[in-house]
Amino acid sequence: MRQSVLLRRVLLLGLFFVVLPCFLFMMLNLPSTNSKSEREDFGRESSGLVKNNGHTSDSQKLNVIEEGTEGIVYKDESFHTPVVRINGSLGKGGLVSDGDGRSKQNQSTTIETKKVSAEVTREKIWEMEDQVIMAQAYLRFAPPGSNSHLVKELKLRIKEIQRVLAHTTANKRLSRSALQKIRQMEATLFRAQAAYPDCAAMATKLRAMTYNTEEQLRTQQNQASYLTQLVARTMPKGLHCLSLSLISEYFGLDTEKRLFPRGNFVEDPQLYHYAVFSDNVLACAVVVNSTIFNSKEADKIVFHIITDSQNFPAMSAWFLLNPPSPATIQIQAIENLKNLPSNFTSSFKFHYLGDLRFTSRFNYLRFYLPQIFPSLSKILLLDHDVVVRKDLGELWRIDMEGYVNLAAEACDNTGDSVNRIKTILNFSEPVIASKFDGDTCIWAFGMNLFDLDEWRRLDLTDALHKWLQLGKEGQLWKTGILPIGQMVFYNHTMALDRRWHLLGLGQSSFRVVSELELERATVLHYNGNMKPWLEMSIPKYRVYWVEYLNYNNSLLLKCNIHK
């Protein structure tokens, strides 16, 4: 008996000494495996072993996270303390490796914490804004003049939340007092909901508030647009001073000295004739100076500046005191033009009353170029808000092939529908839909070469008058001269490369113009409200305009006009 017991003990001890090394070998080698499937198996087995031994619960399971090929991260979700294995080493609270690795991990954790904090704050801000709206809606349910405890409390909570919102930003953590005010507002809204349980009435009230808010926004947008246009059209103090000084200079000259030289060249059809219509002295000065400075044949240039009788003395005095040599210049007042139709002023006012952008007579003179310049065959029209950066002489050598208008298109080759005539003409009107293709690209005013002989032959001025008459009978186009131009010169316009004419330098909402585009462009156009002579201009683009003015001029210095 004793021998059998002794034999069993020997066998058990032998089995123990065989199994123990194998078990230790497995335990030492399993964690060092690098394959994803093996790690997952090991994680499951480990979790199962721990659970079976009763040392953890479901809320304390260890999650296995793969971190590249460097090691394994075990994260205890209960305590949020990462346990990291890097090349066989374990540690808590960060990567157990060299100093750089620990620093990067800490930086990453800090950035992530900030992002989460900012997101939480942003959600709280939205919650407070919604609370204010709901509180205001409940206040509207109260009878007029009501001074009940609930009404007083709602008003108090609204003021408190608004005060918190005024001092809160998304990157700033909310204080305890702010969170307390949010909870207080929640409690007040809960009481208001109990006092006013009619959900249908609340929904109706909220819809009415939304409608009123949208109407107020629309009104404010219209007012802002009007004021912006007013600022753009208002003469700055410096320009007003300059005009008065120039008028004084003009009437101080003898009569014979008020005449411009080379008067016999103004009707020579062999020269290069440029037209500018404006009442802005500095704008015209920049157009003239930049064109002449960059021209290879400046002596062949003739400028025709048309202004109004009020600004005629100042405009004349500027160019008499600053002659654009070697070019020729002629200045006329619009009131003295003999060939304009008698109803010129009233023809274009039916759509645009009250809109300052479209009430200027200078905008519409371009449709009467053949009548204004009866002896000329061609003329290049420049808007007063452009700068010429390169020689324009090549334009005069282009064969226009029977087209009337030479202009740069506003579309690109991406197929977008933004700058197509369907966006400015009313294609719901049959007369428009039958005459035009809505996908036709819009071409731009600002720099246009017109063949006046071909214009006269086609009698496009008569076509203009027909469209104006139809426009009085219905809304055929959006406001402005651009839609009228697209209709009058439809199928009569030759497209120029867009590098000739760069648009949008006076618009803050326009696409970003690259330095390469600016350098390649022949003409820079400051179309929009942010004109380069205004304080609201865009500095990045204004530098190209100011280089063509001599700010050391005594009159500019006197009127405090500077770069």
pLDDT tops 90 at residue 555: yes
Per-residue pLDDT, 479: 74
Question: Between these two residues, 172 and 414, which has the higher pLDDT value?
Answer: 172
User: DSSP string of 513-559?
Assistant: PPHHHHHH-SEEE--SS--TTSTTS-HHHHHHHHTTS-TT-HHHHHT
Per-residue pLDDT, 473: 75
Q: Which amino acid is at 22?
A: C
Q: How far apart are CA 298 and CA 328, in angstroms?
A: 9
Helix-helix angle 149-166:176-195, to 10 degrees: 150
Cis peptide before 326 (omega within 30 of 0): yes
| Host H or E run for residue 494 | strand 493-496
pLDDT tops 90 at residue 5: no
Give the residue-averaged pLDDT of 206-210.
Answer: 79
Give the residue-averaged pLDDT of 150-171.
Answer: 87
**What letter does residue 257 receive in the DSSP assignment?**
G
Find, among 553, 535, 438, 427, the residue nearest to 490 by Cα.
438
Q: How far apart are CA 148 and CA 137, in angstroms?
A: 16
Strand partners, 74: 64, 83
Give the residue-averaged pLDDT of 89-98.
Answer: 42
C-alpha dihedral (189, 191, 192, 194), degrees to nearest 10: 130
What percentage of the chain carries pLDDT values higher than 90? Answer: 43
At 493, give phi and psi (nearest 5°): -120, 130
**Which three-class secondary structure state does DSSP give residue 395?**
helix
Q: How far apart are CA 390 and CA 527, in angstroms?
A: 19
**Which three-class secondary structure state does DSSP give residue 221?**
helix
pLDDT tops 60 at residue 11: no
Give the residue-averaged pLDDT of 18-46.
Answer: 49
Mean pLDDT of the chain: 79
* pLDDT tens-digit readout, 254-302: 999 999 998 889 999 999 999 999 999 999 999 999 999 999 999 999 9
The label of the residue with tokens 């053949």 reads 370
* pLDDT tens-digit readout, 54-90: 444 443 433 433 333 333 444 443 334 343 333 443 4
Strand partners, 501: 523
Find, among 525, 365, 332, the residue nearest to 450 by Cα.
365
Per-residue pLDDT, 147: 62
Tokens encoding 175: 């204080």
* pLDDT tens-digit readout, 471-518: 877 788 887 788 999 999 999 999 999 999 999 999 876 678 889 999
Sequence-ordered alpha helix ranges (H) in 405-502: 430-433, 452-458, 460-473, 481-488
* pLDDT tens-digit readout, 336-386: 998 888 777 666 655 444 455 566 788 889 999 999 999 999 999 999 999
Per-residue pLDDT, 59: 39
Helix-helix angle 99-141:176-195, to 10 degrees: 30
For 180-184, 236-240, 475-479, which range has the lowest pLDDT when averaged over its residues? 475-479
Burial class (CB in 10 A: 0-12, 13-18, 19+), 15: exposed
Sequence-ordered alpha helix ranges (H) in 99-198: 99-141, 149-166, 176-195
For 328-412, strand residue ranges (E) read 328-333, 378-382, 386-388, 405-408
* pLDDT tens-digit readout, 306-332: 999 999 999 999 999 999 999 999 999
pTM for the model: 0.63
Q: How far apart are CA 62 and CA 78, in angstroms?
A: 9
**Residue 545 CB coordination number (10 Å):** 23
